[in-house]
Every structure is written in C-alpha cells, then in structure tokens.
Structure 1
Amino acid sequence: MTGRARLKLIEHSLPLEKINLASIREKPLWRGHPSGLHKWWAPRPLAACRAVLFGQLVDDPSAWEDKFPTEEEQAKERRRLHKVIEDMVEWPSSDAKDQKRFETAIEVARYEIARSVARELGDEAPTHPQAVLDYLKERGPSVYDPFCGGGAIPLEAQRLGLRAYASDLNPVAVLITKALTEFPPKFAGLPPVHPEVKKERDLAGRDWRGAQGLAEDVRRYGQWMRSEAEKKIGELYPQTTLPDGSKSTVIAWLWARTVASPDPAQKGAHVPLVSSFTLSSKAGKEAIVVPVKDATTKDGWRFTVKSVGVTKEELATAANGTKGAGRGSNFTCLLSGATISGGYIKSEGMAGRLAVRLMAIVSDGVRSRFYEAPNDTHELAAEIDRPTAPELEQAVPERLTGGTCFPYGLTTFDKLFTSRQLKALTTFSDLVADARVKVLEAARYSAAFSNHQDPDRSLADGGTGATAYSEAVATYLGLSTSKMTMFVSTQSRWRSGEGKTAPGFGRQALPMIWDFAEINPFAGAGGDLEQVISSGVGFLQMPVLAAGSVQQKVAQNNDYRKNSLICTDPPYYDNVAYADLSDYFYVWLRKSLRQIFPDLFRRLVTPKDDELVATAYRHGSDERAERHFMTGMSQSLEAMRASSLDAPVVIYYAFKQSETRAVGEISPGWAAFLQAVVNAGLQVDATWPLQTEMATRQIASGTNALASSVVLVCRSRPEDAKTIGVRDFLRELKPAMKKAIEEHQKAGVPLPDRRQAAIGPGIGIFSKYAWVREIDDSRMSVARALALVNREIDEALSEGTEALDPETRFVLEWYEMRGYKLVEKGAGTAISQLMSFNLTEGRMNSSGLFRSRGGDAKLLTRGEMQEADPQWSPSRDGSFTVWEMAQHMASVFHAEEGGVDDAGRILAESRRSGPDVLLVAERLFEIATNKGDNDEALVWNQLQTAWPEIERAADRAEEAGIGSAPVQAQFDFPALRKEQI
C-alpha cells in the first residue's frame, strides 16, 4: 500500500464507552468464547481488539475531503462509523438471531475496511460480502502481532477478513495462538473422522461449517479419554452415602494444611492452618466445619460439620478459620491458642514437614449441596503411592509478583498437586498420545484424507493430511488437559458463597492456599475433562475465514513481514512475569505434546532471559531490570516501525490503578514505556483508555475508574525531525491540549478517561521532534514531558465556562455552593451574587431555572423545571440558556420513554449549543462527584457517554425536518440492508 499517509479513524476518535461496556460484558462468557480454550494472563477482550483494528484500518472522514468537505459532514460520518463499531463489539449469545446479527455487523465492518483499502489503492470497492472477503484476502494488509500472548489480536484480524501473522517468545502463548488462528483454517469444512459419527442419523450427511468437524472429533475423543481414565483410576474417587441411604457422587474433598504446633506442650501434634471454616454462606443453607478437641483421635482433634441451625455468630467465627491476628500467614494453634508465625510455617514447609488433613466432603444432595465430615473410606482413598513425573520436577518461581508458595516448601511444580491429583493428571496426559493414534487410524480411512498428497507430513511442518489432523486433535486434547490443572490442583479453592470450586490463577500468582478443594474429575462439574473441552472448543463453531501463521520468535530480533499493519500487546514493564507463571502449564503441555511440537518444547521450562519484563529478581537490581526492558523494547519497537506500512502502529499498555498520577509524580513503568516508544523513532498520535479488565470500573454506581489499558497510536517520526526548546514546546502544547479536550468531549469520551486520552496529543507534540531542549540545553525526558503535559491538561480542564451565558454561569456557581435545596433568607445572598454576573433578581426569576421569593432562594430541580414547562424546547424559549437545555435534555434522556430520541430532538433545534451543553454536563459531573451526590453524578455521566447516540438521534430528527437540513448519505452497500450501514 503506497501513497500519502491519510488520517485513520483511531487517530481522531473511538466510541470508548460502548467498547468498554462490551469488553466488560464479554469477560464472563466462557462457553463458545475463544478465551475458554486455555488460560492466559491479562487477555485483551475481543471487543476491544476488534474495535481498535477497525479504527486502525478505516480512514477518518477528514481524509476524504472530496466526500466530506465540512467539519459538520465529517462529524456526521464519524458518528456513522462509530455506530458500525458499536454494532460489532457485542459478543453474540447462543441465540441464532443474535449470531446472525453479529455476522451481519462484521460484514458491514469488513466492507468499511475494504472501502478504505480500495480508495488508497485506486481500486473499485467490492460490495457483496463474499467479494469483500476475497478482496481483503488478496489486496488487504496483513496484520502482525509480535507479542501475541493469548492470540486475541490475530484472531480478530482474521475475523475482519485479514491475513494474520503472529509471534511470541513464550511457547505456551505460541501454542494457544496457533490453536486459535492457524489450525482451524487448515481443516475448515471437513467432517469428523470418528467412526461413530457416521452411524448417527442426525449427523450423517451434515454440512460441517468452519471447523465444526474438528470440534466434534475433539469432543468425541475427549469422551473416550475420560472413559478410559475412569476405567483406570475411577476407584480412587468413591461415592458417598446421603442421609436417605442413597449414593451420591462427590464433587470435592476439602483439605486443610497442617503443621506441628510450636507449643512444646503439644509434643509435635499437627494443627490445622485454615483460612475459613465456612462451607456454605447461602441464606438458609449455611454450613460450617467445626474443629473439636478429642484426645482419642490423631493429634487430639477432629473435624465435624454443622449444617443445621448455624447461627450468625457461628458463621462469623467460622469465616476466620484458625487465622491469627495481624497481617500475613499467622495462625493460632487449635490446641493451645499459641501463635503460629509465618516464619515458623515457612521453615517447617521448607523442611518438608507440612501435611494435609481432610476437612469436609461435598456431594450432590437433594436440591442442594450435601456436606459431611471426613471418614476413613475417603481419607484412605486419597492415600496412594505418589506417581513420578520427571517433567514436573522443575522449580516453582522463588520470587513472583503477587505472591508465591515457594517459601512454604512447594518448590517444584509436582508439589502443587496431591498424590491423587498427580495420578489423575498424568493418566489424562498419557492418554493424549493414545487418542492421537486412534484419530490417525480413523483419519487414514476417512474420505476427507484418503487421497491426500502428503498424508504423513506433520502439523508442525505445515501438514494438512491425516497425520497433521490427528496431531491437531491431540493438541486441543493436550490444551484441555493442561487447562484441567487449574481445577485439579492445590491452587483450587472452595467458594462458600456459590457452593463450588474456584480454579487457580484467580490472580497472577501461585499463592499458598491453606485450605484447598480437590475436585472429582469424573463428577461432571467444573474441571471434568468433558466440561473443559466443551468450554474450550466452542469457538470452533464460528466461521473460519483468513489464514493465520504463528511462530516462536524473540521480538527484539524479529524479521517482521514487510508492510504489515502492526497491532500488538507487549509485556508491561514489571506487571506480569509471564514466563514464570506459564511454566505451570508448560511442564504439562511438554509432557503431552512434545512429540508433536519438538522445537516448541525442546527446553525443560520456558525461555526467560529475553523476556521483556523489568523483574529485578531476575536481573539483580531495579536499574539493570529497567535497562533490560528499555533496550529490548526500544529494539522491538524500532523493528516494528521499520516494517510497518504507512499506517498507524498500535501498542497496548496495561495501565495499573497504582499508576494513576499522584501530585508531582509519574509512574516509572508508564514513563519507561513511552520513553521506549520515543527512542524507537515513533511519534505518538493518540492515547485511548480502554477497559480491558474486570472489576475496577464501577458501572452500577455510574462512576468510571481509569481504564486499565491505554492504546497508543503511533506513526514514524520523520528522519529530518527538528529539535525545539522547552519554551516553544510549551507554547505549542497549551492550545493543543485545549483543542484535544474539546474534541474528546464532542466525541463522547467519558470525563474520567479524558485526561488519559489527552496525553496522546501532548506526547505527540513532544515525540514529533528529534528532541526537546531544556533551558540548560539537556535533552528532555519523557517523564519530564509527561509532567508538563499533565499540568496543561489540569489547566485546560478547568477552563471553558467563562464563555457561557451569565444565567448558566450563575447557577453553576450557586449549585456548587448550595445545590438544589431551599435557602431560607437567601434572596439577599442571591442578589449580591447576581450582581457579579450583571444579572438582576427579576431576570433570574423569569428565566425558568431559579426562584427568589419572600426572602428565600432556590435553584429549581429538573423535575420542577419540567413541571413548569413540560413542552420546553430551544425554539419556544424566549430567554434560552444552556443550563435549561442541559437540564431538559437530561430529564427526557432519563425518562421511561423517549430517551435518546427526545434528547436528540432538543439537540437538533440548537446544534451549535451542543458543545456548551457537554461542558455544563462535565462541570456538573465534577461538582456532584465532589459533593458526594452519586445519583446526580450518574445523570451527567450517562448523558455525556451517550452523546454520540444523542447526536445520531439529532441527525434523524434533522432528516425528519427538525433543525438544519440533513446531510445526504455518501455511500451504499447493496448487498446489505440499508439500515445496517
């Protein structure tokens, strides 16, 4: 792709709030969602990746001056493109209509991409969906992600019809991304080879779309694996007897770790280390473990279970387990009350003297869980010879951000599993190879592979025949077995509020779990192989489009494909030590799949020396760790810049809540990352805050937390870039900050995210110069530039209201000081305050927004204003104020009916007042937030974030004859319904 660089949509605006909401809603959707294939840390929501790629590929309307010559026409076209993004970011449900809705939205998005590509190449843009796909495969840019991680970016590039290339240093990431993007297209459209499929009438002759045939084989051979495993080890998982005498399958055995009491009087008796004795905290179904001193039993105590008549006091006591006072791993001796310090537990653990004791048994009862105390049958069933597993005898990270179990003696990966768990997992792992043999035998006699030219070529070597297919099925089975280890592990916990287990890796760490849940892998619940496979391969039901290619490469020395569109999600300074964490899965994947991928699993553990994270424990000091990160990231970004086509490079940065700016401080991780970007010869054009993690954004209360990822949009800095002095830099910075904030306000960027979004244009000015000279002629650092940019943002955000009408400025000040309450004897104060705005009491009383009467004064609420004039509109008001327009728009927007359309009709009558209404909404949000009035803050926050929708409603109103004349649509897409464009 050649020609003059044109501005892309992502360099101007994105519908952030809709993208963020879709990203948050997407997270819990595991079944059928690609993220269910296997665990990866800090995955990017597909909604965000899809939206970002679209904005990176589609031209901003300002680049089409012949079609959109005015700012108004450009703004309207942007709103249309934003609607395309909003329609495609929602992940579909299992409903057929919603699936069709999603497919249609993606088709529209592909068309917009193809149109921009065609305009740049001088081609005629295709219109039919299949023609669009064919065009993008042949003429569209390829997308390259050199830090592919969990594979979200290349997967979404494929969904948008583009060829996807990816790489990563980490072999676990490479395998996950291959399974998501590279293998499904190889076997698209093929029927399953499992012999039983042909015998089933409802499946015989079926049209196997996409990789559905592959998914069916993975499920069938997974069922075979489970059946074979149950034959081998099923007796290790005995049933339990319910009170009515019937048998029930055990869901989980709950275990407590124990340590010898430090009290000499207890003579070495082991006591439990329990964080909680609560089994169920559900109302009406409360159940707890009760430890009882009993001199006749081992160590002088035993566990009992109480599930009837549990009092609130007993539940509260049980929630504390045997934890001691203060922070850290301090416990209390059950027998003597003596303190058991964390240091003592660690020393006992490293000496191999920690043990475990069965605490409770959980099974399926009648309409609820059944909890019972331990018994000899179930304790003895778990006492088996410990299997040997050389692949697992690799060291657990001694130091790991977020916590580690290493100091307590769990120093190798095999120690993270009980003997019974090891037996189960090694059995499943060994069966992967047996399943591959069965698939190969069936594939050789299948019509789909009988005439293949190279049936013996391996999957790792690019094969597509019977051998490669059997290895592909085995790969998904191996990934499923690896994923099982999150459930079948001493990292698994019991969720007393939900009555089920929680898998490991609830956070990015390998913490010490004191009371853990051992699930039954044959119970048909979470962690059962069939359940894991079902949630993992559901994504194969989706259409398979463009091809993908994934390699294991070091980003610093990557030979990128030339003229690629670069979009990537690199490691973030010291946030996550991916290599250390992924060893947990690597050792299992290596055991199952080393014969299939010998190069990928040639090492005993994942490579770490070249991983681009600033981990001081790996490099010896904070300074050396930062130098490693800066050097490697700069080299990687330089290679990306040199290989990218003439389009923006997009880089994600995981912005932690702890990195929000304190007074006079800049996060070292954020500054280091931006410094690496600048050092690589890239110029920052925009920074978009995106919500790509769960939990921190408080949607329900209407307040926005700072987004957890920042998307940096960059272009190459010109080779002949000039230098500039700090004074000139500041003169250029001030108006740019004001303009950026105004544009983000118009585009509907939520107020809490507006500060982060404004950093892009500010650093853009800094990074477009070769360097900025300080007063002493030294080179300005990014950290210093960030401090100056933030200072200008503070000033810009505090400006603007001085240009509003005096009535609006007066009531803004009044509301900040007194709110909407009646101020008795406040008329005198009001008159005095009115004088400073050159207003009179009579004028304010006639304005319809303030009342000063009988010596009292009051700012009218929205309800009071609406009641006084239910049909208010700008064209009917003889004393129009921005405050009234803002309040009436907020009132109709939050009404049960009308909502966006009614607010749009008001806006259509006075489009020029829109920016002022947004400014008032922003100011009211700030004031209400500072006053602690969350309900009022929610009103104004929602009005701001819905502004693009309101503007589209105003467009429709104009077309219906309200307000100014409509702008005619510029394009059509004949193959789709007109209302979908």
Structure 2
Amino acid sequence: MSWNDTFSPRQILSLCTYVEELTETKKRLFAELPEERARAVATYLGIMADKSADYSSLLTKWDSTRNKITNTFDRHDFSFKWSHGEFDAAANLFPWGLDQVADAYSGLASLAQGEANLFEDASKPLPVSISKGSSADLRGVSSGSVELICIDPPYYDNVMYAECSDFFYVWMKRTLGDVFPDWFRDELTNKDDEAVANQARFTGLTRGKKDLARADYERKMVQCFRELHRVLRDDGVLTVMFTHKQVEAWDTLATSLLSAGFEIRSSWPVHTESEHSLHQARKNAAQSTILLTCRKREVSSEPVWWDDIKGEVRRTARKKAEEFQKQGITGVDLYISTFGPTLSILSRHWPVLTSEYDEHSGKPRPLRPETALDLAREEVVSLRKRGLLLGRTVQFDPETDWYLMAWDALKAVEFPADEARKLALALGLDLDREIISARGLAKKKASSVVLAEPWQRRRRGMVDPDLEAFDSMLDAAHTAMLLYREEGAPSCLAFLNRTGLLGDGSFRQLVQAMINAIPRTRSGKGFVRPEADILEAMRLAFFDDLEVPPEEALPVDGEQLSMAGLHEGGSDYEEDEEAEDEQD
C-alpha cells in the first residue's frame, strides 16, 4: 500500500494539479519578492496544500451534526469513516483552504502584536525564534538562561505523531522540499527518535514489546527533561500539560520528571477536550488537561521511606478529590485530578524508598510513582461510592463495587484493560480471575475490557431467575433486570417479592447507585445504554421514590451510533465480535 491509496483518482488529480501550479507560482515569488518574504509566502501556500489534502482524502467523513466535512485526522489516526464526504475540489476546496490558512496567519500575527490601552504604554513585541530540532539537544540555549518553559509532551502511546505526520510530509516534500531542503532529505519522518511508546517499533524482539516501548519512552523523556532542567534558571518554572488517563502513562511521566531533578509544586485541572465525537461516546476519555507546575528540586540529603509518607499521600488525595468534585469535576477526570497533588508530595520527599529489596544489589527498591497513584485512586473510589449512594454508607461486595465504579469513572461500556485492572486492585480484586473468569462481569477484547450486559451473564450461571439467594448483590440486580426485559414487570415483581429484595434496603440502594452510575444518554425513544432503560422502568414500577440524575445529550446523530453498535442495546461484548485497536 502507498500514500496514493489514501486518495481517490479524482482527489489525486486535483491535489497534484495544485502542486504543479504552486511549483510555477514559486518561480514568480522568488523572482518578484525578497527572498525571506518569498519563502514565507511559499510556506503558507504549502501549508494550504496540506490543509486541502487533510479535507480531501478517502478518510474524510460527513459530520451530519454540524453539516460539514470532518478532516482525515479528526481522531488522530488512519481509521475508517462510516460516512464518506469530500470537498468539491474543482471549485471550492482550494479557496476554502486559502481562507483557512490566511485566517490562522492573522490570528498568529495578532498574538505577536503588543497590547495597549488608555492607562498603559503599549508593550513592545519581543523577538520570536522558532527552531526545528530535538528538545533533548538544546545546544543553542545557554544553561540557566530560560525563565519559563511550557510544554505539551507526547501522551505516552496516545498518538503516533510521526506516523500521522507522514500523510502531510509526502505532500510538503513536493511543495516545500526545494524551499527547506534540509528538512525533507528523508523519505518519511524520523520515527526512531520520537518520544512515544510505539510498540510497533519493537515487533519481533525477544522481550515484550510493550515493556520495551515503555522503557524507550521513559528514557527519551528523561533526556528531554534533563535538557530542560539545564537551560532553566534556578528560579524558573516548567509547566507540563498532560491529559492521558492511564496510570501507566502518569507513572512514566512522573518518573521522568523526578529523574531529571524536578519537583512538582502544584497542579491544575483545566477543561480542554471536545465532547462532540463518536469516539468519546464509545469509550472513556479524559476531558481535562492537568497543568503541572514544576521547579528545580533541591538535592535531598536523605531518602524517605514510603511507609513514612503514605498517610500524607492518602490525606492529600482525599482532600483534593473532595475539592475537585465540588468544582464539578467528574468521571475519569476526578481520578486524574488527584494525580498531580499526589505526585507533588512524592517529588517533595524524593527519593522515596520501599521496604522491598533488590535481589541483585541488596538495596531498597525505589518507589514507582504508580504506587502512590493507586493509593489516590482508592480514595477517589471511596468518595465516589458515597456520591452514588447520595451520601449514605452501604457495604456491597467488592465485585458490585467494581461494576459501579467502572461505570461511574469510565462512563463507557469499553475501556482500557489496564484501567480495569487498576480499579480492581483498588478494591482488592483480581481482574482476570475474579471479575472476568469467576463472575463474568466483563470480557477481554484486544487491549480493552468490555462490560457485560445482564442478559449476557445468564449463560455463565450468575444471572438465574430460579435462584433463591445470590453470591453478589449485583447478580440479584442483573437477574431482576433480565426478568423485566424478557417477561415484564409482573414477573420481575414476583421475583423481588419471592427473594425479599423488594424490601431489602441494600438492594434498594444498589438500584439507586446503578441509576446514578450508568450514563443516562438518550437516543430516540430511549437511552443509549439498555441498562439505563431497564433501570428507569424498574424505578417507575417499584422504586419511584429514588432520585434520578440529569439526562445527557447525545453527542452524535442516532444513525452513526446505530452503525457503531451503540443504538438499541448494541454491544461489543459478543463472543464473535472482532477486536479493534483505537487510540484514545
């Protein structure tokens, strides 16, 4: 397969025609304009070609919610689109692309201008220097010369930037290769030096490619942060933006920062991510970016033991979780928002040692930051469970707690297996043995976990209307939901009366917690999730005094949801469903 295959013949013709015209135009630019200005104009015309290609490929789609074409990389990958759409390249594509680039240029130019008002003198714009290179090698920047560094680093394995950039590189090499020859010498982008956890680079090696990718990412991030530490002033500030939801990514980021000599002073959750996407409707996704404020760490004279600061970490996580929840932060964002304050405690006492000893050196093992993050997660679980029960304290079994917390935190039927495992550990459970194998609450699908619907658990024997007693309170709730769905309210009521569940206060509180945890997103006549439909019907029939949370709007049109398997009870749980790999 070649890049030519990502475009239709009609699209190739229009884009190549533009490239040919741009080549002729550049001759006139350099003949009539000063060289620096000619290079600038040619550059923006080259960017216009990339902009046009991004909106005119076989991977673009029609967004019916806003009546517009969605670009190739609306999901930061090369995914197949359900509803293809493309520009009229013969008349409208390139004028539109020119307007887009000109508008972006105007915005950048306005930001570079000094601000003025009636009470203050106009500030003079400072010189701006833009360079291309590696942040692990800032040889042109003097040590201790920078006051503020603000970075948005690669989010572990979230986006393979170099692989995506090849789409633009192959066009820009033809439009700007003669303007910037040193930048386009290679056939494609450099992926070996990229700081991302790209498992594909380690396929076929003897060790696990996941561990190798993680180690490679951490090593490169440490190199970058050490170089930033070198050029930063002693009183300077490093601000790091990070959005990734997985503890593994945060553990690697924190290890890199601490190894480079930084201390995390504060963290701020800021709502940044768009909610209007099919991808986020299907899977859990962080909506907030965490801004970490870091300074150079003073050299610690003595290491600290983890057992001595564990209580401080737990108290801090609990306090911050309560604060952020009051500010309206929910779901996976609430868990992530506690990571910054937790890492701040850790970095202030670094290095931190554990009571475990290395079998080779005989020395205490240093603490991995993920241990502290797991502790923070436990505090959020406790807080959120009380929230689902409207402030009440009710003891369910651990499996029921896991199910409630999975829906509450991750807000999706499918989510990363690592997140499911971390949540299970926080509740003292083993994901594979107890959640998946023994209880059948979920199943593995590639690198994800898919929650089981109540009726899908019947074949595992956990959901059985003939049982008089249940090992798990959730099994009883799922059995009642199964009966209501298949036989109606009378059969469900008879079951509740026969088992004594109708008057059981704990069962009543579980129904309340499930109503609060499972997303109440409407689609057409009912809710997107069939569990929410059944629970609402049971509430109206048997528990009409229970409270209900606000309903949520559907982010995309019903047709697309139906095609993706989300409408009318669609599920990715079925045994014959093919696994798919999607970026978050």
Q: TM-score range by the shorter chain?
A: 0.5 to 0.7
Shift in CA distance, 647/670, structure 1 to aligned 2, threshold 3 Å: same
Partner of 2:304: 724
Shift of 1:495: 5.3
Map 1:591-606; keep pairs closer than 5 Å: 591-606=174-189
Residues 686, 759 of structure 1: 8 Å contact kept: no
Matched, 1:539 2:154: no
Q: Secondary structure at the match of 2:263?
A: strand
Match 1:770 to one of 310, 335, 350? 350
Match 1:650 to one of 226, 233, 239? 239
Map 1:581-596; keep pairs closer than 5 Å: 581-596=164-179
Match 2:14 to one of 399, 407, 424? 424
For residues 551-587 of structure 1, give each alpha carbon's deviation from its aligned partner in whole angstroms, at most 9, with x where no partner exists. 1212222334522411101111111111111111111
Matched, 1:471 2:59: no
Matched, 1:676 2:256: yes
Partner of 1:199: none
Shift of 1:536: 1.8
Name the CA distance, whole Å, in 2 between partners of 1:757 and 1:514.
34
Match 1:613 to one of 175, 181, 196? 196
Partner of 2:217: 629
Shift in CA distance, 518/650, structure 1 to aligned 2, threshold 3 Å: closer
Q: Secondary structure at the match of 1:426?
A: helix
Match 1:493 to one of 61, 66, 74? 61
Name the CA distance, whole Å, in 1 between partners of 2:134 and 2:392.
58
Match 2:372 to one of 785, 791, 810? 785
Name the CA distance, whole Å, in 2 between partners of 1:469 and 1:413.
31
Matched AA of 1:726: W
Name the CA distance, whole Å, in 1 between partners of 2:301 and 2:325.
31
Q: Secondary structure at the match of 1:773?
A: strand
Map 1:827-976; keep pairs closer than 5 Å: 929=516, 933-935=548-550
Q: Secondary structure at the match of 1:556?
A: coil
Q: Secondary structure at the match of 2:365?
A: coil
For residues 621-645 of structure 1, give each alpha carbon's deviation from its aligned partner in whole angstroms, at most 9, with x where no partner exists. 1222111111110111121122223
Name the CA distance, whole Å, in 2 between partners of 1:734 and 1:470.
59
Q: Secondary structure at the match of 1:935?
A: coil
Matched AA of 1:933: V
Name the CA distance, whole Å, in 2 between partners of 1:619 and 1:604.
21
Matched, 1:520 2:109: no
Partner of 2:272: 692
Name the CA distance, whole Å, in 2 between partners of 1:581 and 1:757.
29
Name the CA distance, whole Å, in 2 between partners of 1:711 and 1:531.
35
Shift in CA distance, 721/567, structure 1 to aligned 2, threshold 3 Å: farther
Name the CA distance, whole Å, in 2 between partners of 1:558 and 1:502.
37
Aligned residues: 372
Partner of 1:412: 2
For residues 663-701 of structure 1, give each alpha carbon's deviation from its aligned partner in whole angstroms, at most 9, with x where no partner exists. xxxx32222222222222222223333333212799xx9
Q: Secondary structure at the match of 1:550?
A: coil
Q: Secondary structure at the match of 2:186?
A: coil
Residues 630, 672 of structure 1: 8 Å contact kept: yes
Shift in CA distance, 430/812, structure 1 to aligned 2, threshold 3 Å: closer
Name the CA distance, whole Å, in 1 between partners of 2:163 and 2:391.
54
Matched, 1:715 2:295: yes
For residues 66-95 of structure 1, give each alpha carbon's deviation from its aligned partner in whole angstroms, at most 9, with x where no partner exists. xxxxxxxxxxxxxxxxxxxxxxxxxxxxxx
Residues 147, 237 of structure 2: 8 Å contact kept: no
Shift in CA distance, 721/711, structure 1 to aligned 2, threshold 3 Å: farther
Name the CA distance, whole Å, in 1 between partners of 2:13 and 2:189.
24
Residues 305, 353 of structure 2: 8 Å contact kept: yes
Name the CA distance, whole Å, in 1 between partners of 2:375 and 2:65.
48
Matched AA of 1:531: W
Shift in CA distance, 730/603, structure 1 to aligned 2, threshold 3 Å: same
For residues 734-770 of structure 1, give each alpha carbon's deviation from its aligned partner in whole angstroms, at most 9, with x where no partner exists. 4434554566578x46355454333222221112223
Name the CA distance, whole Å, in 1 between partners of 2:137 and 2:187.
23
Shift in CA distance, 932/715, structure 1 to aligned 2, threshold 3 Å: farther
Q: Secondary structure at the match of 2:195?
A: coil
Map 1:528-567; keep pairs closer than 5 Å: 528-542=93-107, 543=110, 544-545=112-113, 546-559=126-139, 560=141, 562-567=145-150
Matched, 1:575 2:158: yes
Structure 2 unpaired stretches of 5+: 114-125, 204-208, 357-363, 394-511, 518-545, 554-584
Residues 480, 532 of structure 1: 8 Å contact kept: yes
Map 1:106-121; keep pairs closer than 5 Å: none
Matched AA of 1:784: T
TM-score by length of 1: 0.35
Shift in CA distance, 474/937, structure 1 to aligned 2, threshold 3 Å: closer
Q: Secondary structure at the match of 1:649?
A: strand
Name the CA distance, whole Å, in 1 between partners of 2:386 and 2:80.
51
Shift in CA distance, 696/653, structure 1 to aligned 2, threshold 3 Å: farther
Shift of 1:435: 1.9
Name the CA distance, whole Å, in 2 between partners of 1:799 and 1:511.
40
Shift in CA distance, 797/515, structure 1 to aligned 2, threshold 3 Å: closer
For residues 321-341 of structure 1, give each alpha carbon's deviation from its aligned partner in whole angstroms, at most 9, with x where no partner exists. xxxxxxxxxxxxxxxxxxxxx
Partner of 2:51: 483
Name the CA distance, whole Å, in 1 between partners of 2:305 and 2:84.
61
Residues 683, 716 of structure 1: 8 Å contact kept: yes
For residues 398-419 of structure 1, give each alpha carbon's deviation from its aligned partner in whole angstroms, at most 9, with x where no partner exists. xxxxxxxxxxxxx111222233
Matched, 1:638 2:210: no
TM-score by length of 2: 0.56
Name the CA distance, whole Å, in 2 between partners of 1:705 and 1:628.
25
Name the CA distance, whole Å, in 1 between partners of 2:10 and 2:383.
63
Matched AA of 1:568: I
Shift of 1:771: 2.1
**Greater Rg by CA:** 1
Residues 655, 707 of structure 1: 8 Å contact kept: no
RMSD: 3.7
Partner of 1:906: none
Shift in CA distance, 730/494, structure 1 to aligned 2, threshold 3 Å: closer
Name the CA distance, whole Å, in 1 between partners of 2:63 and 2:341.
46
Larger RCO of the pair (alpha carbons < 8 Å, separation 6+):
1
Shift of 1:491: 2.3
Shift of 1:775: 2.4
Shift of 1:773: 2.2
Residues 318, 376 of structure 2: 8 Å contact kept: no
Residues 582, 606 of structure 1: 8 Å contact kept: yes
Matched AA of 2:152: D
For residues 429-453 of structure 1, give each alpha carbon's deviation from its aligned partner in whole angstroms, at most 9, with x where no partner exists. 122232233334443xxxxxxxxxx
Shift in CA distance, 424/572, structure 1 to aligned 2, threshold 3 Å: same
Q: Secondary structure at the match of 1:722?
A: coil
